[in-house]
Every structure is written in C-alpha cells, then in structure tokens.
C-alpha cells in the first residue's frame, strides 16, 4: 500500500498545480478522480475554480458522518522541485508536505473502507485552498455539504490540531495637511501620525520573541501618495495582518478601532474565523486513541498559527480538525514528506474510519 501512496504522490508532484495554472489544476483534479471512478463523484465549479465531492452513497446525504478534506493546489516552487525524488526516508517535491502526499493517503484510505462501512463518508478535493478556499470548500459548504466531523489533511506530524488562529486584514489610513518640507509647523505629517498609531499597536500586541499562542499583528505594507522630498505628506496607509486566537475573535475589530486616533480610517478587507473544536469531542478522542494504537505514540493536541479550509466549517457548526503526516520545508526550496509517516497516516485513517462502523 505504501508503494501505491508514494507512486500517486509522485504523479501529483509532477503537475504544476499553482493558483494561476487553471489547466494543471483541472488536470490534477481529474487525475485524482480517475482513481475513484467506482464511487459517486459530484463536481462543483465556482469563480472558475473546480472541485469535487466523492461519496459512498448513491445520493449526497443531508449530512456526512465524516468528510476527509484535501487540497491539490500548491505554493509555486522552483522548476527542479516538480521532479519528485526520494532520498533516504524522505520524498522531496513541491507540495509533498502541503499536501499532495496527504491527498494520496486520503484517496487510498477512502477506497479501502468506503464499501465496508455502513455510514456516509465523503472525500472533498479542492484546488484553491492556497488562495483562501472560497470557491472550493466554502462553495461546497454553501451548497449544503455538511458533516458530523471533518478531517483536513494538513501535515501535523501525526498530531491533532483542533485550534487555528483567525485572520483579520485591515487597511488603516491617516490624513494630514500638506505643506512645504522646509516649514513643518505649517503642515501635519500623516506618516508621523501613523507612526504614533503603530506604536500603540505594538504595545497592545507586542511581537513575541518565541512561539506563543497569542494574537499577533504583522505590518504588511506602508505607503504614502507623496512623491517628493520637500513636501509634508498628507496621507499614509498601512496594511495589518492580524492573526487572532479564538477567544479574541468577537472583539478583535473593535480592539483595533479603539487604538485609532481621531480622523483615522479603517477598512476591513477580510475577516476569517478561528477554528476551535473541543478536544473532548468524541471523534477527537477516538482518533487520538487510534493514533496511539497505530503508532505506539501519544498524539498531542496542538494549536496552529496558520489557517486552512477547516475554518470554513466553523460557519455551519461542523467540528473540524487538521491531521496529517510528518514533513518539512513547506513553501521552501526543499519541501519534503516523511515516507514512513505516510503509511502510519494511512493506517490510522483506515482504522479510525472502520472503528466508526462499529459505533
């Protein structure tokens, strides 16, 4: 079985399924679906993005017991990274960790159990997670796709991530008064005004010196309309990328607004929910026990600083987690996935899904 997982992963890696490459995104989705012809395949398209939902029933149920979710799009890499290679126990290539190897495992685990279980099981394959997942996972959810429990195959080192930070993107603008640079008392410098605001932001949300489960703010961009040295700028705008912990979600926008001086403007570009699934959820407990049984190691319950399509299920009250194999170098020049962990991942998924048939 491991040979089949690695072989399918290599085929996936060789396809340049980057966000701008619609032809290859369609090609990799078709390749994945060619391995699932004996099951019901429901195709979706929205905003030019194609995705699919595969299930073991003739008609889509009102609610699946379990959905396995995986994305086939990737962060672009160097040309050499599209030629998969094995070195020792590692499989290298663009998307090996994020998350083509996981998808291969999801497909093969689904095929192994789909006709052996007595409950509705779904496999959700999408091609736009790296750019937000709005036209893939979220679109399917908007069309009524729900589940009692969702496993998103992001790499987690065979641990369980039940919480992820939410995302808030805002643009902050400051207006000053233009004047000649030689007479600063005659104007009001919008950049200096913005500087004082940013100091307040830093005090409220200090940059952590090590990994901490706290709300963080990244200053992503700063710009002014001023194009000359000898003029006092009357406008300044900054972009803030706020990653907030679940408990800050309700008040995060107002917390930023309270820091704004009079006359400043705030525009919310995006606000995506944080993920928080109770670690006492019975499916998490069962999955954790299955991991230990399969790997002989205790799985950790972790929080993730990044985000995934798991967050879209929050909106419709579907408990979701991230669970995947081990790897490294995500988005870097030497992305890799640990081959032995792929077999353990597949076995854990298979055993977990089969155990639910006995409930």
What pLDDT digit, counting tens, does each position of 229-245 carry? 999 999 999 999 999 99
**What per-residue confidence (pLDDT) applies to 358?**
67
Judge whether residue 205 has pLDDT over 90. yes
The percentage of residues in the chain with a pLDDT greater than 90, rounded to a whole number, is 98
Collapsing DSSP to helix, strand or coil, 258 comes out as coil
Give the C-alpha separation, 117 to 286, whole Å.
17
Give the model's confidence band at 357: pLDDT under 50 very low, under 70 low, under 90 confident, else very high: confident
Judge whether residue 29 has pLDDT over 70. yes
Residue at token pair 């008040």: 251
What pLDDT digit, counting tens, does each position of 100-133 carry? 999 999 999 999 999 999 999 999 999 999 999 9
Residue-wise burial string across 135-172, b where 16 or more C-beta atoms lie within 10 A, e elsewhere: bbbbbbbeeebbbbbbbbbbbbbbbbbbbbbbbbbbeb
71 has which bridge partners? 126
Helices (H), the chain: 2-13, 22-33, 101-113, 137-142, 190-204, 252-257, 282-295, 339-356
Structure tokens, 53: 């939902």
Got the DSSP string for 13-28?
HTS---TT-HHHHHHH
CATH architecture of residue range(s) 166-272: 2-Layer Sandwich (3.30)
Give the C-alpha separation, 311 to 246, whole Å.
11
Q: How confident is the model over 20-37, as a mean pLDDT?
A: 98
Got the DSSP string for 166-201?
EEEEEEEEEE-B--BTT-GGGSB-HHHHHHHHHHHH
What average pLDDT is seen over the chain? 97
**What per-residue confidence (pLDDT) applies to 9?**
98
Give the C-alpha separation, 298 to 296, whole Å.
7
> Domain ranges in the chain?
2-164+275-356, 166-272
Q: How confident is the model over 33-55, as a mean pLDDT?
A: 98
Q: Respond yes or no on whether the N-terminal peptide bond of residue 112 is cis (omega within 30° of 0).
A: no
Q: How confident is the model over 328-349, as a mean pLDDT?
A: 96
**What per-residue confidence (pLDDT) applies to 359?**
61
Compute the Cα dihedral for 286, 287, 292, 297 and give only its sign.
negative
**What per-residue confidence (pLDDT) applies to 278?**
97
Question: Top-level CATH class of 2-164+275-356?
Answer: alpha beta
Give the model's confidence band at 87: pLDDT under 50 very low, under 70 low, under 90 confident, else very high: very high
């Amino acid at each position: 079985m491991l040979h089949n997982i690695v072989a399918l992963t290599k085929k996936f890696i060789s396809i340049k399924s980057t966000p701008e490459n619609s032809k290859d995104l369609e090609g990799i989705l078709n390749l994945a679906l060619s391995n699932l012809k004996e099951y019901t395949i429901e195709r979706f398209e929205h905003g030019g993005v194609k995705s699919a939902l595969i299930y073991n029933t003739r008609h889509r149920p009102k609610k699946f017991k379990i959905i396995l979710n995986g994305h086939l799009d990737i962060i672009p890499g160097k040309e050499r990274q599209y030629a998969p290679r094995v070195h020792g126990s590692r499989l290298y290539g663009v998307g090996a960790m994020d998350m083509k190897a996981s998808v291969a495992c999801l497909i093969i685990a689904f095929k192994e159990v789909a006709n052996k279980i007595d409950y509705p099981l779904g496999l959700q394959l999408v091609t736009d997670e790296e750019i937000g997942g709005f036209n893939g996972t979220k679109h399917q959810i908007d069309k009524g796709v729900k589940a009692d429990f969702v496993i998103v195959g992001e790499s987690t080192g065979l641990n369980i991530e039940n919480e992820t930070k939410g995302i808030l993107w805002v643009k902050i603008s400051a207006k000053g008064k233009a004047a000649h640079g030689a007479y600063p008392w005659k104007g009001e410098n919008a950049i200096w005004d913005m500087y004082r605001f940013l100091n307040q932001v830093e005090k409220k949300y200090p940059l952590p010196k090590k990994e901490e489960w706290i709300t963080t703010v990244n200053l992503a961009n700063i710009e002014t309309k001023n194009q000359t040295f000898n003029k006092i700028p009357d406008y300044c705008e900054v972009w803030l990328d706020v990653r907030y912990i679940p408990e800050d979600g309700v008040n995060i926008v107002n917390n930023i607004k309270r820091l704004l001086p009079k006359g400043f403007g705030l525009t919310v570009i995006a606000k995506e929910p944080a993920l928080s699934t109770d670690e006492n959820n019975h499916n998490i407990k069962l999955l954790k026990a299955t991991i230990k049984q399969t790997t002989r190691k205790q799985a950790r319950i972790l929080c993730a600083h990044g985000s995934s399509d798991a967050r879209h299920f929050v909106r419709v009250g579907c408990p979701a987690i991230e669970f995947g194999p081990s790897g490294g170098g995500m988005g870097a020049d030497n992305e890799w996935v640990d081959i032995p962990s792929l077999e353990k991942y597949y076995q854990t998924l298979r055993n977990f899904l089969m155990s639910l048939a006995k409930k």
